[in-house]
Amino acid sequence: MSLSQRLDLTQSQQLRLTPQLAQAIALLQLSATDLHDRVAEEVDRNPILEMERPRPASGPSMMSGGEDFDRAASIAEQVTLRGHLLSQIGGMRARAAVRAVAELIVDELSPDGRLPVGLDELTRRYDLRPGQAAAGLALVQACDPTGVGARSLGECFALQLDDRGLLDPPFRTLCENLARLTRGDRAGLIAATGLAPEALDERLAILRTLDPQPGFAYSAEATAPIVAPDVLVTKAKDVWRITLNPDTLPRVLVNETYAAEVAATGEDAARFVATCRLNASWLTRALEQRAGTVLKVSRAILRHQTAFFETGDIALRPLSMATLAAEVGIHESTVSRAVANKYMATPHGLRPLRGFFAQGVPDTTQKSGYAPAAVQARLRRLIEGEDPGRPLSDDALVRALTEDGVRIARRTVAKYRDLMGIPSSMQRRRLAARPGR
């Protein structure tokens, strides 16, 4: 075998993101608040750029303060659950390594303060030594609000009872047997705890005073009323119209006077100003493209979900991002970014754009279908209209929904009922039979 050197010429295709395209993609998926922050950072880096604040709306409902009144300044800065916990962990007397693990665990918490992953998974994920995850979790669970960092509802209640000095063996057994409580298995609870019926009722009354979602007060959902909608939907003369909310759209302006003064000081300054102008042009174009994409996607949502805007959740239809992307002529990932972290003001309240997309439950004709939210609205309407003494079973709900045109399985009815926090027919009958109801 002989060895020799050879020069070959080959052609290949590669997809590379230009800086302009990367900037446009990054801006598209930001929320209104994050967008303002990102634009403010660009303005800080670019001396010829200025950001124009939106004018505060006038009217009797607005607070006084003149045209320069900044509404954002009138709202106290929200304290997030993450920030609240990290500030406490930072002041705890523990080894730095344990505090670091606790901070990692804080980032794993769900909005309600629950830890959805186990300690073994955390150990593998972060390559921790044995015992480190447990030590870090202990720090998190020592924080306020009490119950945060729990891995189950029972553990959440146990932490709160322990904080009150009430966690004795019967209460611990109750926390470990909450499934029996939801099934209404009083006999099983009495046998497991050894409590008399009256004593059990007293313990259950205390359990009802506990908070099952201790972190929710710090979550984004708890502050939803102060979220500004990105898209506004109105109806005029029987025609639905969609507009972008001008209060959520930052405007950037080039200070031409200052740019000319700087450019006149020399060739280096002129080149610097030219670069600043180019960056400003990219930013302006990216903002315009973001606004156009969000508006285009919102209009397509309106076309598909017109019945929702007329009558509410009960008329929501299935819609996939792939379907809408094909209709609008953009990629499915672009649709996903366009609806991320954005809200629409509708006649039925503030709705996340992502909430208009869902797989459907088929109707009896097999030609269309209903979004899960629409089926849940129908379920709620049926249960609210039932005879409390003779509540509808899941089988009866299936038959009623089928008559209404919804083709659904019994297990799906049970799943939706659980998601809405509605007890079973047997539990609803027991609740209706309680004295005082």
Beta strands 343-346 and 231-236, pairing class: parallel
> Is pLDDT at 22 greater than 70 in this prediction?
yes
Tell me what the pLDDT averaged over the chain comes to: 81
- Candidate from 48-62, 110-124, 281-295, 341-355 with smallest mean pLDDT: 48-62
> Using one digit for the tens of pLDDT, what is the confidence trace for 171-214?
999 998 888 877 778 888 888 889 888 888 888 888 888 888 88
> So what CATH class is 361-429?
mainly alpha
Nearest to 19 by CA among 273, 281, 332: 281
CA–CA separation, 397 and 205 (whole Å): 32
> Using one digit for the tens of pLDDT, what is the confidence trace for 361-406?
666 655 567 777 788 888 888 888 888 888 888 888 888 888 877 8
CA–CA separation, 357 and 360 (whole Å): 9
Report pLDDT for 290: 93
Residue 326: pLDDT band by 50, 70, 90 thresholds? very high
Q: DSSP 3-state assignment of 406?
A: strand
Is the CB of residue 123 less than 8 Å from the CB of residue 133? yes
> Is pLDDT at 63 greater than 70 in this prediction?
no
Report pLDDT for 371: 76
What residue spans in the chain does CATH classification 1.10.10.60 cover?
361-429
Longest dimension (CA), the chain: 98
3-state helix, strand, coil in the chain (%, to 5): 55, 10, 35
* Phi-psi group of 59: left, alpha or beta (phi > 0 → left; psi -120 to 50 → alpha; rest → beta): left
Measured over the CA atoms of residue 259, residue 264, residue 270 and residue 274, the dihedral's sign is positive
Q: What is the pTM of this model?
A: 0.55
